[in-house]
Structure 1
Amino acid sequence: MFDDRSPIYLQIAEQIKNDIVTGALAEDEQVMSTNQYAAFYRINPATAAKGFAQLVDEGVLYKKRGIGMFVSPNARLLLRTGRQDSFFADVVDPMIREAKAIGVPLKDVVQHIRTYGEA
């Protein structure tokens, strides 16, 4: 499950974010405890805790004292909005710059996207 591309705690946080964005985890749904997560994936509990702490800091998860961690209300909207912003900054804007640089009219890019979306 984990790879060498980034620290495991970041991969944990990203996996949980993906589960929220896709709807696999719903708002106010309880997530596995850090100990359960660590045991399931055979990682250090401190590593799992670091990933969970990052999500709490970002407002994606919240703690209920003595009960566990839960997905924050509006977490899906928060994550989707952030990913949409990143999508435009990381994908669309560079594509537009490249299209302009090589002389592809933007109307052709838009038409190609429409055609691809209908296929």
Structure 2
Amino acid sequence: MNFNFDSPEPIYLQVAEQVEEAIFTGIYRAGEQVPSTTEMSKEFHINPATVLKGMNRLVAAGMLEKRRGLGMFVTADAEKMIREKRRAEFSQRYVAGFTSEAKKLNLSEDELIALVKQSYEAE
């Protein structure tokens, strides 16, 4: 994990995003324990309350679960939830603007699909 202390994005959000990314990429799998608040705060020199605030966002989202006396664990549906969240963000961030620009260029739906297929196959 890598935190940018000069970023305008709060550290607790960076904690949540980076743990989420680690779940999505398989570093932490369903049922596995994530590092404790104390471990993360010591390793990255972050206030424990800040780390906890970030982790609690993932608990509230249903991606992590707290087990009393044991720590926090990745939920069974966490990866699926993250994938769905990212698909929605992808659609909002990229597809909406992409289709809007295509309409301005008077591209038909078929032309747009052909361009996407062409680009997708070139990768």
Q: Shared fold by TM > 0.5? A: yes
Asked whether 1:48 is paired with 2:51, we answer yes
Runs of 4+ residues deviating >2 angstroms: 102-109
Task: Report what 1:2 is aligned to.
Answer: 3
- 2:85 maps to 1:85: no
Question: Which residue is equivalent to 2:26?
Answer: 23
Report the residue type matching 2:104 in the other structure: A
Superposed counterparts of 1:63-82, under 5 Å: 63-82=66-85
Local SS of the residue matching 2:73: strand
The alpha carbon displacement at 1:107 in A equals: 2.4
SS at match of 1:5: coil
Match of 1:111 among 111, 114, 121: 114
Q: Deviations over 1:43-67 (max 9, x none)?
A: 1111101101111111110011111
Match of 1:61 in 2: 64
Letter in 1 for 2:16: A
Structure 2: gaps (5+ residues): none
SS in 2 for 1:6: coil
1:113 and 1:5 map into 2 onto residues whose CA distance is 35
Q: How many residue pairs end up in the alignment?
A: 119
Q: TM-score, normalised by structure 1?
A: 0.92
> How many Å separate the matches in 2 of 1:108 and 1:8?
44
Tell me the percent identity: 38
